[in-house]
Structure 1
Amino acid sequence: MKTVSRHKKTIIDIISILFLVLFVYTASSKLLDLGLFELRLGRMPYIAPYASLLSWSVPLLELVIAGLLLLPKLRIIGLYASGILLTLFTIYIIAVLQFSDDIPCSCGGVLAALRWDDHIVFNAICMALALTAIVLNKKQHKTSNG
């Protein structure tokens, strides 16, 4: 029984590390070229008026989530936050694709090379990983408490 619990913990740890790397990478790439990130946000439909605020708050939020994922006692909060942030971004992408013609990508680094439908698939996979880790965490706690 302990082997199953260890496997669940290992899967949760791997997913958490993947998200940690993803969020540190995306936040860093945005902060390293903050002016360009803000410019791209300023060209995005619906959020242009908030570009200045978002150019700082999004990477900072990503770093906070990465910090939560790094700390075992707060990891579950980080997993929920990861899932929520990815879901919100995915909803935004879908809405923009439905209602806008010109859609600049405000992503940094390697992710900027993805097409919009690739972003949706990537985000869906990440959301599924977050959900998997959350469910495994709940099952692990039920097993250890019950």
Structure 2
Amino acid sequence: MRKLLHNVAPALLVLLFTYAAASKLINPVSARHEMHNQHFPPEVADVLWLGVPLFELVAAAMMLLNEKWQERGLLLSSILMTVFTGYIALVLLGFWDRVPCSCGGVLKNMSWKTHFIFNLFFLAISTTAWYQRYKGKAENLRKE
């Protein structure tokens, strides 16, 4: 199971983040509009509509590099998935009076509950895969 997660988690996250970023970058006018439809000040939305796909692509690229960068990519993926999942949790808790979704493609068609479960799955695999590598590196340092 450990070896499977070691190899499959980065591949799944690369697919997820590449797809999510591409769906935003293919239609930048719509992506910008969707981000400005969120509950953020306009200045924050201006940064996020380009920043989110950029960070998604950076995370995907990092996982395609060597082991050291892959570990960092898994950590960045875990951070991104924590933020995205936290946002959805706030939506499900009724934190806002309206709940726009800025996701693209197939993800936009998910219900909030389905999207939350989907995100929890990817959060779990990214965090677990990162922790395995981090723990393994720490164990190797202790042996030396």
For 2:109 and 2:24, locate their aligned partners in 1 and report how far apart those are by CA, in whole Å. 15
Q: Amino acid of the residue matched to residue 130 of structure 2?
A: I
Q: TM-score, normalised by structure 2?
A: 0.86
Q: Which moved more, 1:23-32 or 1:47-56?
A: 47-56
Q: Which of residues 87, 91, 99 in structure 1 aligns to 2:86?
A: 91
Say if 2:105 is the partner of 1:118: no
Residue 34 of structure 1 aligns with which residue? 28
Does the 8 Å contact 1:20/1:69 carry over to 2?
yes
Q: Which of residues 132, 137, 140 in structure 2 aligns to 1:136?
A: 132
Residue 70 of structure 2 aligns with which residue? 75
- Which structure 1 residue ranges, 5 or more long, are not aligned? 1-6
Residue 4 of structure 1 aligns with which residue? none
Distance 1:45 1:96, change over 3 A: farther
Residue 12 of structure 1 aligns with which residue? 6
1:23-53 deviations in whole A, cap 9, x for unaligned?
A: 1110011000111011111111135442222
- Which structure 2 residue ranges, 5 or more long, are not aligned? none
1:53-84 deviations in whole A, cap 9, x for unaligned?
A: 21111101111111111112300100010011
Q: Which moved more, 1:61-70 or 1:135-144?
A: 135-144
The number of residue pairs the alignment matches comes to: 140
For 1:8 and 1:17, locate their aligned partners in 2 and report how far apart those are by CA, in whole Å. 15
SS in 2 for 1:103: coil
Q: Amino acid of the residue matched to residue 134 of structure 2?
A: K
1:104 offset after TM fit, Å?
1.4
Distance 1:37 1:25, change over 3 A: same
**Identical pairs, percent:** 36
Q: Which of residues 50, 53, 63 in structure 1 aligns to 2:47?
A: 53
Q: TM-score, normalised by structure 1?
A: 0.85
For 2:15 and 2:4, locate their aligned partners in 1 and report how far apart those are by CA, in whole Å. 16
Q: Amino acid of the residue matched to residue 73 of structure 2?
A: G
